[in-house]
């Protein structure tokens, strides 16, 4: 997500928190400092306002994306099977 999109989400959350809770936040610092962002997101979620909670969830997804799933592990081939197939291919291609 672009920095400007994160800033827009933080600004919307700032307006909602100021309107519903009376809490003033620093929008730029919200984007830069993860500890401050977690605290403000927690305040928004604890407010009980549905729109604050929804905006906090969207901001949390933007600032702290879930790590990608690890790729599935491939089963290692046995060295004898690999050598046997390579040997057949080598001998078969000479004749």
**Of the candidates 23, 29, 20, 59, which has an alpha carbon nearest to the alpha carbon of residue 41?**
59
Angle at which helices 3-20 and 50-63 cross, to 10°: 150
Q: What is the DSSP letter of 26?
A: -
At 26-57, the pLDDT tens digits run 999 999 999 999 999 999 999 989 999 999 99
Domain boundaries, the chain: 3-63
At 72-88, the pLDDT tens digits run 776 665 555 566 666 66
Model's pTM, two decimal places?
0.68
């Amino acid at each position: 997500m672009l920095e400007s999109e994160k800033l827009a989400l933080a600004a919307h959350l700032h307006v909602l928190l100021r309107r519903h809770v009376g809490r003033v936040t620093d929008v730029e610092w919200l984007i830069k400092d993860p500890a401050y962002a977690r605290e403000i997101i927690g305040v928004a979620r604890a407010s009980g306002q549905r729109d604050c909670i929804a905006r906090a969830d969207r901001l949390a997804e933007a600032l702290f994306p879930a790590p990608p799933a690890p790729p599935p592990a491939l089963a290692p081939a046995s060295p004898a099977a690999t050598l046997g197939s390579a040997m057949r291919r080598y001998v078969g291609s000479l004749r």
